[in-house]
Amino acid sequence: MNPLHAYPAAERPVGAGGSLLAVGDDPDNEHYCPIEQLASFALLMAGHGRCVSTDMMLGDRDYAMAQLACARAIDDDPELARVARRLFAYFEL
């Protein structure tokens, strides 16, 4: 069962711009940004002294693209590069 169906429609979690943000969303559903990956991205960026707002990433595509570009400029972190590549697919459209 999709965790969003456990909420009445009026109480379903929504983020900036009205997008659904449940952590338990189906990872194969390419229409929703994977929240776990976004949280990992923010933590990895923090390790490089960059503060990333996950709410802003979800609500402002230009902000998200700028953060992903900053991640690409960091050459010495293959895990950050992998996570940034995966997230890029959700924001490039």
pLDDT for 10 beyond 50:
no
Residues ≥6 apart with Cβ < 8 Å to 53: 42, 63
Query: Is the pLDDT assigned to residue 13 strictly greater than 60?
Result: no
CB neighbours (10 Å) of residue 55? 12
Q: Which has the closest alpha carbon to 41: 74, 89, 87?
A: 87
Count of the separate structural domains present in the chain? 1
* pLDDT average, residue stretch 32-36: 87
pLDDT classification of 22: cutoffs 50, 70, 90: very low
66: domain range? 3-91
